[in-house]
Chain A
């Protein structure tokens, strides 16, 4: 195998593995930039993966063919927003500890999705295997470029969507007045309130966008990688997405870089067996690598995290 093809494929696999993490990390950013900690990304992704699997299944049973996965995507979005409302209600309206209510989301997600899967599929712990999922789409002309043609322009529609959303998120957060308000609410809610921004409303919106994006991330796992939903479809991606968000300093571009890094280290697992020198490394160490590297990078370079300063705090107008 020549190295040009290998490199292109490696880049391609990297992006495939990164997609769900990008969505999850972007979701985390919108919630946390508004000042609401969201440890429930994992659960929101689970809800999304579940909704996508079930509704795609029913859409294809109803004969919708290639449109079915898009139905799945839309229902994942709705499911994610609904689930995130639980988090918003508890942590914004009832002033529950935000970490706690995020954990609640994770518990409710694993419990209720499997409960419903067993109800719908007559006791099976897994949804039926989907026939209509996303296929890779080569972009004409661009996909002929060496390396990045294969790597970047021959991918799933959801991957394109994720990359576009990174830039959209960046633009929305840093170049629009909505983004300014959202960040203001997360940095200094009382100042924002004085300036006429409705703090609670902005935080609700932040959490709901977060739910939609995270659920989209979960949906991409079922609709591109597993084609089914089971208890282990989402196993830790949400937490890695949170790590990518912190790693990327709550900035969409940074989070994209971090997610790509995690995706790369996952993709590289299948390539180390190709070369003689790398075969001798125990697989466990290859698996460990991204996590150890993350710690090293954080300790060496990034240092103190740049979290929004009102993150995790309730807004109480009577408090100075």
Chain B
């Protein structure tokens, strides 16, 4: 526990202040729009924590955000900008749906993990395409991952429409029961909120991220390549291979996010008219979490509960739920500009120093 405290002690004050300032900006904008910010935040809070069902659903909302946040953060740590979480998420969904429907006769203990793993691996491979082209041909990963997002969207629709379609509907058949990762007893406990093992997987993924990057030789290489590819190459590291590896692992997180949404929440896949957005939101989660795995857990918690709570804000205080995106945008703005936050905090610091002198 001490270690965790140590990791954050230096950097937690700025993000916390940024969150408060972001909420204040939101309040100001509500005031300008003629709404009651106190009532709105109260309604938001009670939407999230008001009853067991909503609490469960909040965690359902948080889970994929943590995973896509980890995906973006991991790539950032390796010096890559994975803007393709969206596409990897879709590929993970589709692979999990395919395995969940087409493979029959397996016991649950094998089928569900298999679908999850295949989803993760396919997401990883999808990202590795961008990594491969970056490593071998120097093609900017931002542009390839953007292109792969749309490619994934249409590929997924093609697969659903031609191989998995429920007759007469714009969606796939339901998964086999053996592929589900829902937790029945927990759902019953929480008023039928859609609880699933994916939440635990997301936490484990954050731990895996931490151990891999800071406790292994491989992780050292990935970070070295991220910080200074030339120095890493000079030290004898294979930069290209490390780029492909980090894109694969990054995509795996996003693929898992898609897989748990299918296996734990929806149990079928729809034909999509646009990308689902969870991959893009992962960028925000990673930024709020300062690209640290445990920060991403907190960032995902914040993003997910604000998003889920925004519905309550709209019922309780009539505030358009889009306000919450302004709040999140402002939080990221303040986190990205520590200069402004320090300026706000200055009087506080000065006071503390005086106390020390006394």
Complex contact A288–B151 (CB within 8 A)? yes
Q: Which of B321-358 contact A (CB under 8 A)?
A: 322-330, 332-333, 335-337, 339-340
User: Does any Cβ of B come within 8 Å of A196's Cβ?
Assistant: no
Number of A residues, CB within 8 Å of B: 49
Closest Cβ–Cβ distance, residue B100 to chain A (whole Å): 21
A304 with B150, Cβ < 8 A, contacts A110-B322, A111-B325 known? no
Complex contact B33–A107 (CB within 8 A)? no
Interchain CB contact (< 8 A) of B329 among A94, A96, A107: A107
What does DSSP make chain B's interface, helix, strand, loop or mixed?
Answer: helix
Contacts of A96 in B (CB 8 A): 333, 336-337
Interchain CB contact (< 8 A) of B332 among A104, A239, A299: A104
User: Does any Cβ of B come within 8 Å of A95's Cβ?
Assistant: yes
User: Does any Cβ of A come within 8 Å of B274's Cβ?
Assistant: yes
User: Does any Cβ of A come within 8 Å of B45's Cβ?
Assistant: no
Q: Which of B82-104 contact A (CB under 8 A)?
A: 83
Interchain CB contact (< 8 A) of B336 among A90, A123, A232: A90
Complex contact B147–A115 (CB within 8 A)? no
Complex contact B154–A285 (CB within 8 A)? yes
Complex contact B140–A246 (CB within 8 A)? yes
User: Does any Cβ of B come within 8 Å of A225's Cβ?
Assistant: no
User: Does any Cβ of A come within 8 Å of B171's Cβ?
Assistant: no
Contacts of B146 in A (CB 8 A): 239-240, 242-243
Interface segment, one of B3-11, B47-55, B131-139, B221-229: B131-139
Give Cα A232–Cα B320 distance, bound, in whole angstroms: 17
User: Does any Cβ of B come within 8 Å of A295's Cβ?
Assistant: yes
Interchain CB contact (< 8 A) of B339 among A94, A100, A112: A94
What does DSSP make chain A's interface, helix, strand, loop or mixed?
Answer: helix
Contacts of A288 in B (CB 8 A): 150-151, 154-155
Contacts of B195 in A (CB 8 A): none
When C-beta atoms are compared, the residue in chain B nearest to A295 turns out to be B147
Complex contact A111–B138 (CB within 8 A)? no
Contacts of B140 in A (CB 8 A): 246, 298, 305, 307
Closest Cβ–Cβ distance, residue B308 to chain A (whole Å): 16
Give Cα A246–Cα B83 distance, bound, in whole angstroms: 15
A298 with B322, Cβ < 8 A, contacts A97-B336, A235-B274 known? no
Contacts of B327 in A (CB 8 A): 111
Complex contact B320–A291 (CB within 8 A)? no
Complex contact B326–A111 (CB within 8 A)? yes
User: Does any Cβ of A come within 8 Å of B287's Cβ?
Assistant: yes
When C-beta atoms are compared, the residue in chain B nearest to A109 turns out to be B329
User: Does any Cβ of B come within 8 Å of A114's Cβ?
Assistant: yes
A100 with B336, Cβ < 8 A, contacts A119-B33, A235-B274, A288-B155 known? yes
When C-beta atoms are compared, the residue in chain A nearest to B158 turns out to be A284
Contacts of A103 in B (CB 8 A): 283-284, 287, 332
Closest Cβ–Cβ distance, residue B152 to chain A (whole Å): 9
Contacts of B332 in A (CB 8 A): 100, 103-104, 107
B interface, CB within 8 angstroms of A: 29, 33, 81, 83, 133, 137-140, 142-144, 146-148, 150-151, 154-155, 157-158, 161-162, 274-275, 283-284, 287, 320, 322-330, 332-333, 335-337, 339-340
> 14 pairs across A/B with beta carbons < 8 Å?
A94-B339, A100-B287, A100-B335, A103-B284, A103-B287, A105-B329, A108-B333, A111-B329, A112-B326, A246-B142, A284-B157, A288-B151, A298-B137, A304-B139
Given contacts A107-B326, A235-B274, A295-B144, 10 further A-B contacts (CB under 8 A): A99-B81, A103-B284, A104-B333, A110-B325, A242-B142, A242-B143, A246-B140, A282-B162, A303-B137, A305-B140
